[in-house]
């Protein structure tokens, strides 16, 4: 058991954690020291305080936008609304975004933004005023634009806030044809893309699926290939956690035995019906007292449920020295940013627990944001040009099969064979391919370099090498 002294001394500053993880990976690389420092440090940080009149008085708010790297253009990263937002957190998240984009091979560098507010304390009109004023401040300093810096949703924000950001930017620059690409994660009716809302959770699903295709890797943690019947615990039931839970439950036949939210956690060893749980949450506003489950005394207790896969999908620093010895999962799959501290991760590795790093596993959101940004720049809807062509080819194939076999194909099977791809089909296909390729590259590095301590280190190596190559090709370093 860790001593209380060690737990107190544990560094929970996310910026320090990310920088230290970078340094650990750098020890296995031969890039020049100056180049590594360029990749590691945050290029720019914009801090702003601004007043907004709410009711009869003015309120002051503090916001940030960090630009970690400029090896690619534009920069990409979400905007979070949380009372815990601070400059160090924003810088760390911007760095993680740089590495994340490099791992999944997107033409973006990393950025991040945030406003230190609790959105639950404001009504919709007040949030709109705050969002538009924050956007105006970003515009004034050129920290937003289709080819400069492209925000997206994060904790505390969603499609609604992204639509306000787009509309504000469009008002400042009327008539520019690419204005809609200034932000991603918008409603589909405002230039968004099908599948973006659930993209991070879908990416987590695809990433975990790929891990469970490798028999030898799973043998080391005492698991068999395939996800059917695997016991899963989800910490955090917001956008990412709820979609991850639903996809793993409905499509991969996982048994979701524990779920937590900010105010409650529930447990049922026989499995939870996620569709019914989602309806219960919409009806009551909480997952508390869901029929057939036990409501735990404290939400953080969900982390200690014995399971095959534990998915932290909330905030950073959830698994620390204070609770790591109570974690009873075989795989910790990080759907949130920075949920496991380095000292806790070392404890888990020493016990044979596989930790799947955030900079790979939660890259689904930025991947589909890339698809949305590309769609906005081309002004062409995915699937529009080839839908009918694909159906015509499918029809000819089905007709040929019927002629050769002398039998008619059942109508429902026939329809499935000839149906042309819609936008959502193409988005999910592209996302799945991206997650598969990224994991295989990380796994290859991890297997070939026998002395690497973790998949996280292997992921950082993939990211650093790609960013370093970009800087070299730009001529910034020899």
Note if the bond before 74 is cis, omega within 30 degrees.
yes
Q: DSSP 3-state assignment of 26?
A: helix
If residue 398 lies in a helix (H) or strand (E), which one and from where to where? helix 387-405
* DSSP β-bridge partners for residue 66: 45, 112
CA atoms of 72 and 459, how far apart (whole Å) = 19
CA atoms of 207 and 205, how far apart (whole Å) = 5
Longest dimension (CA), the chain: 79
CA-wise closest residue to 333 among 367, 307, 372: 307
If residue 57 lies in a helix (H) or strand (E), which one and from where to where? strand 57-67
For the four alpha carbons of 265, 267, 273 and 276, in that order, the dihedral sign comes to negative
Would you state the structure tokens that stand for residue 336, as one six-digit string?
């949130």
If residue 191 lies in a helix (H) or strand (E), which one and from where to where? none
Alpha-carbon radius of gyration of the chain:
23
Supply the residues annotated as catalytic.
Answer: 112
Q: Under a CB-based contact definition with an 8 Å cutoff, are residues 145 and 182 in contact?
A: yes
Q: Under a CB-based contact definition with an 8 Å cutoff, are residues 134 and 162 in contact?
A: no
CA atoms of 171 and 372, how far apart (whole Å) = 21
CA atoms of 195 and 430, how far apart (whole Å) = 11
């Amino acid at each position: 058991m860790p001593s209380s002294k060690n737990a107190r001394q544990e560094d929970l500053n996310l910026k320090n954690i990310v920088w230290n993880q970078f340094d650990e990976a750098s020890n296995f690389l031969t890039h020049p020291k100056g180049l590594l420092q360029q990749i590691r440090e945050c290029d720019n940080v914009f801090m702003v305080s601004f007043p907004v009149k709410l009711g009869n008085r003015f309120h002051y708010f503090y916001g940030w936008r960090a630009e970690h790297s400029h090896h690619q253009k534009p920069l990409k990263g979400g905007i979070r609304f949380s009372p815990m937002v601070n400059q160090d957190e924003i810088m760390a998240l911007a760095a993680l975004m740089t590495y994340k984009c490099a791992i999944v091979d997107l033409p973006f560098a990393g950025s991040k933004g945030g406003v230190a507010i609790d959105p639950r304390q404001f009504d919709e009109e007040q949030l709109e005023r705050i969002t538009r004023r924050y956007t105006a401040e970003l515009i004034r300093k050129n920290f937003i634009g289709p080819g400069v810096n492209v925000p997206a949703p994060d904790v505390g924000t969603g499609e609604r806030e992204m639509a306000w950001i787009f509309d504000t930017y469009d008002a400042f620059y009327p008539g520019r044809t690419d204005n809609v690409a200034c932000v991603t994660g918008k409603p589909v009716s405002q230039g968004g893309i099908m599948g973006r809302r659930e993209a991070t959770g879908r990416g987590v699903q695809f990433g975990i699926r790929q891990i469970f295709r490798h028999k030898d890797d799973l043998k080391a943690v005492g698991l068999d290939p395939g996800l059917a019947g695997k016991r899963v615990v989800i910490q955090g039931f917001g956008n990412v956690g709820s979609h991850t839970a639903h996809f793993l439950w409905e499509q991969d036949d996982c048994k979701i035995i524990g779920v937590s939210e900010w105010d409650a956690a529930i447990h049922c060893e026989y499995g939870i019906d996620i569709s019914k749980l989602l309806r219960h949450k919409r009806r009551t506003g909480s997952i508390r007292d869901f029929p057939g489950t036990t409501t735990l005394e404290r939400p953080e207790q969900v982390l200690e449920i014995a399971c095959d896969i534990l998915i932290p999908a909330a905030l950073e620093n959830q698994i620390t020295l204070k609770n790591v010895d109570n974690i009873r999962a075989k795989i910790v799959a990080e759907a949130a940013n920075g949920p496991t501290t380095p000292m806790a991760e070392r404890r888990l590795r020493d016990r044979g627990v596989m930790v799947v790093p955030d900079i790979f596993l939660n890259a689904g959101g930025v991947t589909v944001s890339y698809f949305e940004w590309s769609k906005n720049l081309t002004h062409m809807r995915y699937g529009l040009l080839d839908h009918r062509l694909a159906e015509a080819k499918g029809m000819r194939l089905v007709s040929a099969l019927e002629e050769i076999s002398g039998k008619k194909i059942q109508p429902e099977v026939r329809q499935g064979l000839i149906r042309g791809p819609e936008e959502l089909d193409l988005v999910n296909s592209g996302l799945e391919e991206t997650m598969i390729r990224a994991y295989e590259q990380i796994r290859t590095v991890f297997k070939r370099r026998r002395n690497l301590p973790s998949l996280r280190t292997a992921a950082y190596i993939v990211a650093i090498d790609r960013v370093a190559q970009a800087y070299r090709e730009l001529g910034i370093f020899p």
